[in-house]
Amino acid sequence: MEEMGCFVLNGRSCGDRRGDLTYTSSNGASTVDQVWVNALSLNFFADFSVMDVDSGSDHFPCMLTSVMSGSGPTDDALFLMEAKLKWAQDKREEYRLRMKNAFLSSQPVPACPTTMYEFLKNYILSVSKELDMYKPAVIKRIGKVKRSPWFDKECCSMKYQVRKTYRKFKRKPRCSSLLKEYVNAKRHYRAILKNKKLEYYEGLRRSLSRCNDPSSFWSAVRKLRPTGAKQGSLTLEGVEEFFGEIYPLHDPGRQTNAPDFDGAEDDPPRDPVLDRPISKDELLQALNACSVADLEAYLIEKGHRGLSIDSRNELLAVLYADDCCLLADSKVNLQHLLDSLHTYCVDNLLRVNASKSKVVVFQRKGRQPSYNFKCGGEPVETVKSFTYLGVTFSRSGLFSLQASASVTKGINAYSGVWPIVHRSQNSDLQSWRVLFDSLIKSTSLYLAELWGLPYADRLERVQVRAFKSLLFLPRFTPDYAVRHELSLTHSGWTIVKGLLRWWLRLTAMEDTRLPKICFMRLLRLSTGPDQDQRFNWVLQLKAILLRLDCGDLLKADIATVDLKRAIPTLVDKYKNLMDEEDHLSLANSSFCHFSDVLSSSSQPTYMSLDLPLHVKRLVCQLRLAGYRLARIYFPRITAKFDGTATCSLCNAENAQDTVAHLLTNCLIFQAERARFFGERSLSEQML
């Protein structure tokens, strides 16, 4: 190395005058880790030292201090992020063209690999810089690393003991007794850290599985979520600039004769109207103007008519906070409503945000003509769907888009929830259900009792995909098999349970309430001919009751007390019906290799045992393996099976590549079967 112009820094720097040891173990100690620097780079480094900290290895970290101008003492760590190239797909053709032109316009390159490499590297760097695909080296500042939550006083005390024994050994590096004392202390320290970590996560797992109230549940979840949330890039200057563009109240270039209320000479000019003192009555008037509670009365006074529910009731406007939904039965009436809305807002010092306002024209079939609606001279866009209060309304009157959006929200929800299970290694099935019901199901089944019954199978994909993801099951595993194995019930049961409870609330309402009026109208329409169940919520309820042999309950004069007494029975009956369908599908399954075993029992025993998470995953994958297709995942190992091919391990004649053959008759694993089961081959019944 010295012949190549390099110098070793160990033992030649101020921080490492004696050449400290870089490796210690029970076998001995030595300076096996060396740092070499060439002569041209010596001026860029200020010092070198061997850090006496425990890094989880028998080797000590070596710290090389660089010379950086303007860098002072700080509690934060500085890291040099090397320069890199970041590919931009949209600039691919331009990059290719510039590289071609660079080669064509360059001088002939000598036939030397080193020279050719340097030329190519320079071409790539120059073109990347021209196209903004070159990221220069930067120095990042990283704050102090927080201690792990399981690092308590005992760990801190043991860490001090390790450093104390190391300092003793450092003074007498040739003393074998001091080396042995240091190695034993370090081994004991690492064992304590490992046990503390296991105890910490075991305690979190137990607390998560024994939560009996929301407070303890969320307390356990918060401990498992990653800390150190990213800070937003929003600054005070950015906020002031944004609102300054919207409300330009203070214009330094505008002259005004308004008095300066604060008496300060350096204050910006005041607006004579907006910055004047206001009285209490004016403030109350401004606050009352923010309320639109009297909008519907104002529109009725103007002579507007809404959508007819029945012969006595109409629906003109739906108001919630500052959101407003206007309904009309024709293009002309809707435009008149928008004109009146604009007049109402002008009178009450309000403004309609036309860019956020949308028009949805409901129709069953046919191509929708173009419309041109305006509110106060500003155009209002006509769209095919709109999300109002968390529910997407489509022009067809169906909720297919809402079902797709709910599935997407559910998938995103379990992608953020399951890391909690992975981090805690929680293997309790009940805890999985609690997490799913609290954080995932509540997101994907939002108001599903009103719109989700026709899309129950699509919404069920959230539950099945969530537990397949948790247990590393392949996507082609049948849904009914997953539900039966984990004792889950179809999401349609949750929807029906919410639907029945909403029906109970409707019957308890007064006849003047809008939901009750709509329900009674749908009930009368349900008795007519050629009614489409997709557009009538009562018909969906009627289909459920007929399926449960309780169709006589659907009547206008049913007593609330009788319905309240009947609903728990209906819910349990529907749950048993859904479970029986899954059980029958599993018994007749042509996919699952062990369908007879699965269908003969309810919840398997291994799910209730206190087993590690990876063990339950493996057992579940084996039980739900397919006859033709299967995939078994174990940490760092993935095995795929194809029943139409020959076993790739033993290549025996008539040996199918299946999970059953691997476990019972594969010649490669005869010794393992004899060791654990006492026989070199197993039968299907024994398996």
What average pLDDT does range 212-236 have in this prediction?
66
Q: State how far the Cα of 543 lies from the Cα of 449, in Å rounded to an integer.
A: 14
Q: What is the pLDDT of residue 666?
A: 86
Q: State how far the Cα of 488 lies from the Cα of 494, in Å rounded to an integer.
A: 11
What are φ and ψ of residue 665, in 5° steps?
Answer: -130, 0
Q: Which two tokens stand for residue 196?
A: 């503390």
Where in the chain are the domains? 2-66, 108-137, 153-223, 280-383, 412-588, 594-677
| Helix or strand holding residue 209 (H, E) | helix 176-209
Query: What percentage of the chain reaches a pLDDT higher than 70?
Result: 85
Highest mean pLDDT of the ranges 132-146, 174-188, 532-546: 532-546
Residue type at 169 in one-letter notation: F
Of 574, 583, 617, residue with least CA distance to 601: 583
Q: Is the pLDDT of residue 569 over 90?
A: yes
Exposed, middle or buried: residue 144 (CB in 10 Å: 0-12, 13-18, 19+)? exposed
Q: What is the pLDDT of residue 684?
A: 67
Q: What is the pLDDT of residue 77?
A: 52
Q: Is the pLDDT of residue 86 over 50?
A: yes
Q: What is the pLDDT of residue 670?
A: 85
Pick the residue with more confidence: 197 or 212? 197
Q: What is the pLDDT of residue 261?
A: 41
Q: State how far the Cα of 75 lies from the Cα of 95, in Å rounded to an integer.
A: 43
Q: What is the pLDDT of residue 271?
A: 52
Q: State how far the Cα of 427 lies from the Cα of 617, in Å rounded to an integer.
A: 9
583: left (phi over 0), alpha (psi -120 to 50) or beta: alpha
Q: What is the pLDDT of residue 496?
A: 94
481: left (phi over 0), alpha (psi -120 to 50) or beta: alpha
Q: What is the pLDDT of residue 117?
A: 81
Name the one residue in this structure whose structure tokens are 């860098």.
71
Are the C-beta atoms of 623 and 594 separated by less than 8 Å? yes
> Which range, of 140-154, 182-196, 486-500, averages the lowest pLDDT?
140-154
Q: What is the pLDDT of residue 553?
A: 87
**Torsion sign across C-alpha atoms 402, 403, 404, 408:** positive
User: DSSP character for 592?
Assistant: B
User: DSSP character for 65?
Assistant: E
Render the burial of 21-52: b for 16+ CB within 10 Å, e for the rest: bbebeeeebebeeebebeeeeeeeeeebbbee
Q: State how far the Cα of 239 lies from the Cα of 328, in Å rounded to an integer.
A: 40
What average pLDDT does range 334-342 have in this prediction?
92
What average pLDDT does range 147-152 have in this prediction?
82
Q: State how far the Cα of 47 lies from the Cα of 44, in Å rounded to an integer.
A: 10
User: DSSP character for 558?
Assistant: -
Q: Is the pLDDT of residue 333 over 70?
A: yes
What average pLDDT does range 355-378 have in this prediction?
87
> What band does 391 get if pLDDT is binned at 50, 70 and 90?
very high
Q: What is the pLDDT of residue 255?
A: 45
Pick the residue with more confidence: 3 or 669? 669
What are φ and ψ of residue 402, in 5° steps?
Answer: -65, -40
> What band does 401 get if pLDDT is binned at 50, 70 and 90?
very high
> Which range, of 133-142, 155-164, 182-191, 615-624, averages the lowest pLDDT?
133-142
Q: Is the pLDDT of residue 498 over 90?
A: yes
Are the C-beta atoms of 672 and 664 separated by less than 8 Å? no
Rounded to a whole number of angstroms, the CA Rg of the chain reads 37
What average pLDDT does range 126-152 have in this prediction?
77
> What band does 265 get if pLDDT is binned at 50, 70 and 90?
very low
DSSP letters for 622-652: HHT-BSSEEEEEETTEEEEEETTSB-TTT--
**pLDDT tens digit sequence for 42-53:** 777 788 888 877
Q: What is the pLDDT of residue 273?
A: 54
Q: What is the pLDDT of residue 250?
A: 45
**pLDDT tens digit sequence for 525-556:** 988 888 888 899 999 999 999 999 988 888 87
> Which range, of 70-84, 152-166, 414-428, 442-456, averages the lowest pLDDT?
70-84
Residue type at 177 in one-letter notation: S
> What band does 260 get if pLDDT is binned at 50, 70 and 90?
very low
Of 357, 304, 312, 306, residue with least CA distance to 327: 306
Q: State how far the Cα of 570 lies from the Cα of 547, in Å rounded to an integer.
A: 10
What average pLDDT does range 410-437 have in this prediction?
85
**pLDDT tens digit sequence for 2-13:** 777 787 888 888
Q: Which two tokens stand for residue 194?
A: 């490992």
**How many C-alpha atoms does 489 have within 13 Å on its Cβ side?**
16
> What band does 598 get if pLDDT is binned at 50, 70 and 90?
confident
**pLDDT tens digit sequence for 284-324:** 666 665 667 788 888 999 899 888 898 888 999 988 877 88
> Which range, of 207-221, 344-358, 370-384, averages the lowest pLDDT?
207-221
> How high does pLDDT run on average in the chain?
82
User: DSSP character for 473?
Assistant: -
DSSP letters for 413-461: HHHHHHHHHHHHT---HHHHHHHIIIIIIHHHTTTHHHH-GGGHHHHHH
Q: What is the pLDDT of residue 542?
A: 93
Q: State how far the Cα of 371 lies from the Cα of 450, in Å rounded to an integer.
A: 30
Pick the residue with more confidence: 202 or 640? 640
The Cα-based distances of 531 to 363, 382, 396, 499, 621 in angstroms read 16, 29, 16, 20, 46
Residue type at 48 in one-letter notation: F
What average pLDDT does range 350-376 have in this prediction?
86
